[in-house]
Structure 1
């Protein structure tokens, strides 16, 4: 096999590894690919460059996704624009694959923000109802150690926000792919990209500009996604994780009352607080959902644990009377029964995307 052909095969294999998230770093992907394809040792200079691998990632993505990839890229850029408008006070710049168009399966949205106050950014995200995690990474380059602060924000797409000092806003970092200053886009520049490359999304980009408007369904999704990694005592919750439980409870409630959006939201969201404060998950859920659910849904979530006591026969007379006096008592008890039944380890549950789409449909069709 010629050296050029070997290099192309390694680039393709490295791209495949990165596209399917078997590897996330270029160097590890290319060295693993070289070991698989080359029978002998290869000098570092003979390995494909990061740019060559990125081009092959593009080819792999086209092969596996076709037109869906262009649609997803447009959606990711639109979400990036929404996030950047929320963070407008911190001079946000879009970077990475969503800007360049080289997205792959599992790509997140990378945005650089500029501020001397991590707390100010945290406060802005909290006010927007966006759950997030702060991660500090120590990096050593050229013998100098630096600590970078990242915000990981969950939602329809994952975001990584990297915080830089304001005085560096005009000094873009060097790209590990091109060796040149990193490509970046401001809000205005991203608006132009969307208008040019995704004209069908133009009206949505305008809608995204409306201040203070947050898609409540994205808030729900961002609160639910972390539950996939929360596991409880299998004696009481053999169904695997809290997200699976929540989807089971939703499915059971939908079978009983398919058009009661407020009840269905309570069924789906009643345990989201476990991803925030497991010691008081009810209060945590209500605080996180404040402004995004109705009073009735909030009441159902607030009392779903007391309803379990009613089912057990351990509720005091005063508690029982207080709950029974509510016009939503029957709905509460239905929620409690679904909550108790939604603990089957082998039950089939819908995907979260399907559930969110169903709820969006209820809002669209019934207001």
Structure 2
């Protein structure tokens, strides 16, 4: 194998590791790829550039995601504009793949904001009722330790705000990919950029639509949280409240079908209606979730009680045959098994936020 073939192999393998989210850093991905391809150590100077890896990731994104990637990029850019307008008093600058167009499944929106206090940023988010988390990250670089403040906003697309002091607003940051000044755009520059990229678009209409869009995970959260106080019949559910049962069921479903978001959502949400109408919890839950789950998830939730009838042989023959004709019948039985197994006192479960974050990541990575 020639050196050029080895280099190309490292590029493809490193890009695969990053595209599949097994690695998030270029250098680590290249080292791991070099060990696999060359079966030994490779001088860092002989490794491909970050730009070569990035270009290969984009090739993979085009190959695997098709034209849908460009529609998602447009939606991400409109969302970035919406957030920048909200935080206009913090002199926001959009950076990264949302600006350059190098997006792939799971890419987030990166924005730099400049404020003397984190409260200046979070106050605006609180006023809009946004769900977010503040992270302070220690980074050691060139022998010096720095603390970076990030705000992770949970919206339709993941958004990361990096908060800098106002005196950094004119500082020129360098790209880890090219080594040159990072590409970034202020709010006026970004608005002009979008008008030139999408000359036929009505940005104000698209912004209004984005502003009215409801994040489905926030719907799930609002329905799940109250279930912690909804107790169940101890004979059938000795484990306690509805939320605890649903989180147990979710864990079992995640282990059963780890890449199936629809199935895992059915497990997490199948008893959601018990906080709305205990006598008709299936119908109440489906009504509350309408428009926020797929037809397959809705079908699994709709028929999860039928599995109990199948198990104790009280279901009618025609009803049973109709269920068996569905391509999701086996998954319905799996859901029933998870439902029965999720009744353990003292079982370890994630909290609601962690469960929803896992499902968000699954949705971003696998669509």
Q: Give TM-score scaled by structure 2 length.
A: 0.64
Are 1:82 and 1:208, in contact at CA under 8 Å, matched by a contact in 2? Answer: no
Supply the distance in 1 between the matched residues of 2:182 and 2:155 (Cα, whole angstroms): 25
Relative to structure 1, is the Cα distance of residues 73 and 81 closer, same or farther in structure 2, using a 3 angstrom cutoff?
same
Partner of 1:156, secondary structure, is coil
Deviations 1:307-350 (A, max 9, x none): xxxxxxxxxxxxxxxxxxxxxxxxxxxxxxxxxxxx95647xxx
Q: Which residue of 2 aligns with 1:53?
A: 53
Query: Which residue does 1:305 correspond to in 2?
Result: none
Aligned to 1:240: 250
1:256 corresponding residue in structure 2: 283
Q: Distance in 2 between matches of 1:140 and 1:226?
A: 39
1:137 Cα deviation (Å)? Answer: 0.6
- Give the drift of 1:78: 1.1
Query: In 1, are the aligned partners of 2:114 and 2:166 still within 8 Å (CA)?
Result: yes
**Shift in alpha-carbon separation, 1:59–1:209, aligned structure 2, 3 A:** closer
Q: Which residue of 2 aligns with 1:90?
A: 90
Contact 1:21–1:105 (CA under 8 A) maintained in structure 2: no
Contact 2:79–2:210 (CA under 8 A) maintained in structure 1:
no
SS of 1:163's equivalent? strand
Write out aligned runs for 1:333-344 (5 A): none
Q: Aligned with 1:151: secondary structure?
A: strand
Asked whether the equivalents of residues 85 and 209 of structure 1 are also in contact (C-alpha less than 8 Å), the reply is: no
Q: Is the 8 A contact 2:92 2:111 kept in 1?
A: yes
CA distance in structure 2 between the aligned counterparts of 1:251 and 1:48, rounded to whole angstroms = 54
Query: For residues 208 and 92 of structure 1, what CA distance do their matches in structure 2 show?
Result: 20
Give 3-state SS (helix, strand or coil) of 1:71's partner.
helix
Query: Compared with structure 1, are the counterparts of its residues 137 and 257 closer, same or farther at alpha carbon in structure 2 (3 Å cutoff)?
Result: closer
Deviations 1:116-147 (A, max 9, x none): 11012111111111110000011122222211
Which residue number in structure 2 is paired with residue 12 of structure 1? 12
Give the corresponding residue for 2:214.
Answer: 217
**Offset, 1:99:** 1.1
Quick one: distance in 2 between partners of 1:152 and 1:227? 22
SS at match of 1:103: coil
Total equivalences in the alignment: 267
CA 1:264–1:61 in structure 2 vs 1: closer, same or farther (change >3 Å)? same
Rounded Cα–Cα distance in structure 2 between residues aligned with 1:254 and 1:101: 45
CA distance in 2, matches of 1:152, 1:16: 26
Query: In the superposition, relative to structure 1, how do residues 248 and 172 fare at CA in structure 2: closer, same or farther (>3 Å)?
Result: farther
| Structure-2 change in CA distance of 1:44 and 1:149 (3 Å) | same
| Structure 1 residue 170 displacement after superposition | 1.2
Post-superposition CA distance 1:287-321 (Å, at most 9, x none): xxxxxxxxxxxxxxxxxxxxxxxxxxxxxxxxxxx
In 2 relative to 1, CA 222–3 (structure 1 residues): closer, same or farther, beyond 3 Å?
farther
> Pairwise mapping of residues 21-100 of structure 1 onto structure 2 (< 5 A)?
21-100=21-100
CA distance in 1, matches of 2:73, 2:222: 24
Over 3 Å counting, the alpha-carbon distance change for 1:79 and 1:225 in structure 2 is farther
Q: Quick check: 1:76–1:98 contact (8 Å CA) kept in 2?
A: yes
Q: Structure 2 matches for 1:272-283, cutoff 5 A?
A: none
Q: Distance in 1 between matches of 2:182 and 2:337?
A: 48
TM-score normalised according to structure 1 size: 0.64
Select between 98-107 and 51-60 the one with higher mean Cα deviation: 98-107
Q: Distance in 2 between matches of 1:84 and 1:234?
A: 49
Could you tell me how far 1:103 is from its partner in structure 2? 1.1
Whole-angstrom CA distance in 1 between matches of 2:129 and 2:214: 11
Match of 2:109 in 1: 109
| Distance in 1 separating the partners of 2:213 and 2:69 | 25
Shift of 1:166: 0.9
Secondary structure in structure 2 of the residue aligned to 1:175: coil
